[in-house]
Structure 1
Amino acid sequence: MLLSVRSWLHHPLTHNSAFMHLWAGQTAAEVGFQVATLATSAIAITLLHATETQIGLLSGLQTLAFLLVGLPAGAWVDGWRKRRVMIAANLTRITALTSIPLAYILSSLTLVHLMVVAALLGLSTVFFDVAYQSYVPLIASRRYIGAANGRLEASYQVGLAGGPGLGGWLLGIVAPPLVYLLTASTYVASTWAIWRIRTPEPAPVRAGGTLVAQIREGLAFVRGQRLLYPLFSCIAAAAFASAGIRVLLPILVLRTLSMSATQLGLLLSAGAIGGFLGALTRPLWIGHLGIGRTLVITNIVGVLVLLAQPASIHAPAMAAWIIAVSGVTSSYFLTVYNVTQMSLRQEICPPHMLGRMNAIFRFAVWGVMPLGSFVAGLVASWAGVEATMYIFTATAIAAGIAMGFTPAARIRGASAADAS
């Protein structure tokens, strides 16, 4: 572990100013995102008394933009300066977030307002995520794409570790809507860090033809890649199920187990410990197993342990520990999986197609999330939270098993060039 830390400190990326600013900006944004996610659940459940179906709809709205504009966003971002897109997306998020505490102070906060803000945040996130994923290969050598994604995933885990814990603590001392002010401040810090990047960005290549033709070109590229297309289908199925699991966990903790929002924040934070370790130790997995087996094994194990969370209902005295330990373990394995599949995609894709390729995969992952969230809410209102969590976890496990039959699973080395 100490060797891994030293390799991070002395890695060429550490001396890459542009990447370090992007990394700092992404870390700040992730902390804010996690705080806002927890605050949104707390507002809907405890302040506005939303039903399970309404909570599912609210969660779905946060990712609906990936389904509606995910594909054209990729074509647009390919023709735009990525840094400018990220800054504009952050400014939009800051404006939307500050409207929540303002409405609360004026006693006019409603569930509809919360849903509108959730949708705007999702729309901004579409463009920010596609832009930053396409920006990484432009400022980091393709040789270091895996290492760069590992650090960005570590940022996500830092946000997951600190955000819910910080949000849970704040929810214990201030009204939930006021927590959004902290989230807005993290996006201000993110904007400042990205604005500070001084490395010239290559001029974007303007694709010819109509928007529809550009989208078709991107889809044709993914469809024609024997490594990517089968993986695309499995990732979409897993994302649908994972969205359902995520939307039900706060209900399980806050309602079924009668824990507080502070306890929920601490439980979510604990899971991120595993994620950070996963980002740090991923090279060891790749070195021992290769890309293919790492993808399949870490995905299946990471989802399998989540079966313990709904089962914790039957051991209420130990429920918090069961949820925390399963979260740590799951986050560790799924982080290794996520960094590996993202790096594989970026290694294969030519620079002029990065925006569309990333958007197509974001469409597959995030585009189905609103459907998964909404369906989970509907099923839970009929079958109960525990049974629904079992159903959606089993679906995610099946998607991981199917991944084992894809060509990507047969990559034995540490590069796509090692595919058999």
Structure 2
Amino acid sequence: MGPGPVKRADESPPTLWRHRDFVKLWIGQSISVFGSQFTGIALPIVALQLGANAVQFGILNALETVPFLLFGLFVGVWVDRWPRRPILIVGDLGRGLIVIAIALLFLAGSLRLVHLFLAGFLTGVLTVFFDVAYQAYVPSLVEPEQLVDANGKLETTRAASQVAGPGIGGVIVSLLSAAAAMILDGATFFVSGAFLVAIRGKEHPPEKKRASMIADVREGLGVVFGDPRLRAIAGCTATSNFFNSALSAVLVLFMAVDLGYSPTILAGVLGLVFSLGSIGALVGAVVAGRTAKRIGVGNAIVAGAVLFSLSIGFIAVAFQPYAIPMLIAGNFLTLVGALIYNVNQVSLRQAITPNRLQGRMNATMRFLVWGTLPLGAITGGILGTVIGLRATLLFALAGGSTAVFWLLASPVPALRTIPAITK
């Protein structure tokens, strides 16, 4: 996207709240993310009721993210060749249908773990397409100087949904059923798809040049590995995601077995911990831009990574009778760090990558940083069985703390501002 008309130095960018198409995207995503918190609470409870063990929890988590490892690089090429908004619409509608199908099977008493595994994989495939297209679509929707503001607004609302959603989801699961929570989540995907359909702005046309698939994949890899800033961000995020995924794979079992929460109250405890802890995501999204202005965008990225990794310690050492406040504190601080990190590093990536390569850059990043999620989940599930649940959390804490060294060994800390956007 071109730089647009020249503005006076003292002229502020136009407010995004007057950008009708951005507002439609924002509303749709806000509703969808809010609904996804319901399934985030309901699905582990359903898996527990079906008798899932630590390894099976790891497999379930892995299947949701392994499509990034299998298809991510090729999806980036397709996203750069196709209009991006239709990809987003299909992704929303497809995921809504899958979630509702699982809920109906559960209500009918026919749900089995194999159904959860299949649904997780299919949802993951659609999420690959959606996420890669989504991050490539935002820079074509707003002006270059609005990128940080746009990402901040989207992440702030995502964070607010993470605050309210788990608590409401826990109440729905406790008072109604896990199936009711998932049906509501499916409906929010449909609402998001409707708002995407309503967007009227035209995208940049896909590039007309058609190289071979392998050549395009190689070009995407070259963009990331050829830029030391992108390379460092990929390494940091991939390392952090691997160890955080190992933690996530055993966290619900840790709360049920080591901390002693029975299945009858676990949904409520999960909702409380995730809702109050997720206030940290709201705080992080709000202060991300201010932090970058105060200490520089590079230092903000580093600070976010450090805060995220070290705060997992509260979760790893949680014990009764202080488990709930410790889990809340750990979740709160990790999400403050994660949002400061993500808002700034995503804006940096979008600014330094040409529009025609946005899909491939994002797909390569997703391949690298989300590709470690299934590996981490499987590792966490196996370690949870072999060395114990708490020991697995301590393993995740120690390993995740090394992620920041990718950034410290790169040009990222020296960046004061987001560079001028690349055409």
How far the C-alpha of 1:234 sits from its partner, in A, is: 2.2
Contact 2:65/2:370 (8 A) holds in 1? yes
How far the C-alpha of 1:249 sits from its partner, in A, is: 2.1
Partner residue of 1:301?
A: 307
Output the CA distance in 2 between the equivalents of 1:321 and 1:226: 40
Partner residue of 1:283?
A: 289
Higher fraction of helix: 1
Output the CA distance in 2 between the equivalents of 1:135 and 1:177: 33
Partner residue of 2:378?
A: 374
Output the CA distance in 2 between the equivalents of 1:186 and 1:12: 27
How far the C-alpha of 1:346 sits from its partner, in A, is: 0.4
Give 1:271's aligned amino acid. G
- Match of residue 196, structure 1, among 195, 198, 213: 198
Contact 1:234/1:403 (8 A) holds in 2? yes
More displaced 10-residue stretch of structure 1: 345-354 or 16-25 = 16-25
Partner residue of 1:399?
A: 403
Output the CA distance in 2 between the equivalents of 1:298 and 1:104: 40
Corresponding residue SS for 2:210:
coil
User: Structure 1 11/302 Cα, relative in aligned 2: closer, same or farther at 3 Å?
Assistant: farther
Any residues of structure 2 matched to 1:71-90 within 5 Å, and which? 71-90=73-92
Contact 1:237/1:396 (8 A) holds in 2? yes
User: Structure 1 11/319 Cα, relative in aligned 2: closer, same or farther at 3 Å?
Assistant: farther
Relative to the length of structure 2, the TM-score reads: 0.92
Corresponding residue SS for 1:203:
coil
Partner residue of 1:4?
A: none
Long gaps (5+) in structure 1: 1-9
1:392-416 deviation digits (Å, cap 9, x = unpaired): 12111111233212111221x1223
Contact 2:347/2:418 (8 A) holds in 1? no
Output the CA distance in 2 between the equivalents of 1:156 and 1:255: 31
Contact 1:274/1:331 (8 A) holds in 2? yes
Output the CA distance in 1 between the equivalents of 2:78 and 2:134: 14
More displaced 10-residue stretch of structure 1: 113-122 or 101-110 = 101-110
- Match of residue 124, structure 2, among 122, 125, 129: 122
Partner residue of 1:149?
A: 151
Question: % of aligned pairs identical?
Answer: 32
- Match of residue 42, structure 2, among 39, 43, 59: 39
Any residues of structure 2 matched to 1:82-101 within 5 Å, and which? 82-101=84-103
Give 1:390's aligned amino acid. L
- Match of residue 28, structure 1, among 31, 47, 67: 31
Any residues of structure 2 matched to 1:242-253 within 5 Å, and which? 242-253=244-255
Q: Does 1:270 align with 2:270?
A: no
How far the C-alpha of 1:417 sits from its partner, in A, is: 6.1
Output the CA distance in 2 between the equivalents of 1:12 and 1:115: 43
1:219-238 deviation digits (Å, cap 9, x = unpaired): 11222212212322222111
Any residues of structure 2 matched to 1:325-364 within 5 Å, and which? 325-364=329-368
- Match of residue 385, structure 1, among 389, 397, 408: 389
Give me the CA root mean square deviation. Answer: 1.6
Long gaps (5+) in structure 2: 1-12
Partner residue of 2:230?
A: 228
- Structure 1 residue ranges (4+ consecutive) displaced by more than 3 angstroms after TM superposition: none
How far the C-alpha of 1:11 sits from its partner, in A, is: 5.7
